[in-house]
Amino acid sequence: MIKAVMVMNTQGKSRLAKFYEYLSVEKQQELIRGVFSVLCSRAENVSNFIDAESIFGQDSRLVYKHFATLYFVFVFDSSENELAVLDLIQVFVETLDKCFQNVCELDIVFNYSKIHTILDEMVFGGQVVETSSSEIMKAVEEISKLEAASNAISLIPKSASGWRSR
């Protein structure tokens, strides 16, 4: 089971945080800080695993990947495969890339809802339900359309613009 997904930049600013069990915001902040303090001390070209048991408690593993200014972090337990989760990060990033054409940190900053939508299509309640980025894209587009449609009825299109990324 996946316990948490985090995206943070190299300054330690959280860009996405998803915990699949309820945690108070203080606890979330503490965990993210804990993860970042380990991440930022790691050299390039070393393995993508971190001993997470000191941060997340028993039976937890952590896999991360570093892209440009962002760290993508997945925390999970013994019922997931480390390398498979690494692939999953790849899928996630590829999907973002397709979605925003050459994704950069700014896209993630400004598309809060959409990033969550994409992640929710992949991981459902800690379970991975979709690993194909084209399927994810399809669903995300459907959802965006649906949202746009439901907003269009109201004559205030102010928040609709945010969704129309393509």
| Residue 54: exposure state from Cβ atoms within 10 A (0-12, 13-18, ≥19) | exposed
Residues 68-97 that bind other proteins (CB under 8 A): 78-79, 81-84, 86-87
Q: Helix (H, G, I), strand (E, B), or coil: what is residue 23?
A: coil
Rounded Cα distance, 4 and 18, in Å? 6
Which one, of 28, 69, 70, 35, lies nearest residue 50 by Cα? 35
Of 26 and 68, nearer to other proteins (C-beta) is 26
CA distance 151 to 49: 43
Give the Cα separation of 105 and 103 in Å (integer): 7
Using CB under 8 A, which residues numbered 127 to 156 contact other proteins?
127-131, 139, 142-143, 146-151, 153-154, 156
Tell me whether residue 97 or residue 165 sits nearer to other proteins (CB atom): 165
CA 60 from centroid of its chain's CA atoms: 18
Among the listed ranges 12-20, 68-76, 94-102, the one in contact with other proteins (CB under 8 A) is 12-20
Could you say which residues in the range 20-59 bind other proteins, by CB under 8 A?
20, 22, 24-26, 28-29, 42-43, 45-51
In whole angstroms, the minimum distance from the beta carbon of 73 to other proteins comes to 15
Residues near other proteins (CB under 8 A) are 1, 13-17, 20, 22, 24-26, 28-29, 42-43, 45-51, 78-79, 81-84, 86-87, 109-110, 112-113, 116-117, 120, 124-131, 139, 142-143, 146-151, 153-154, 156, 158-159, 161-162
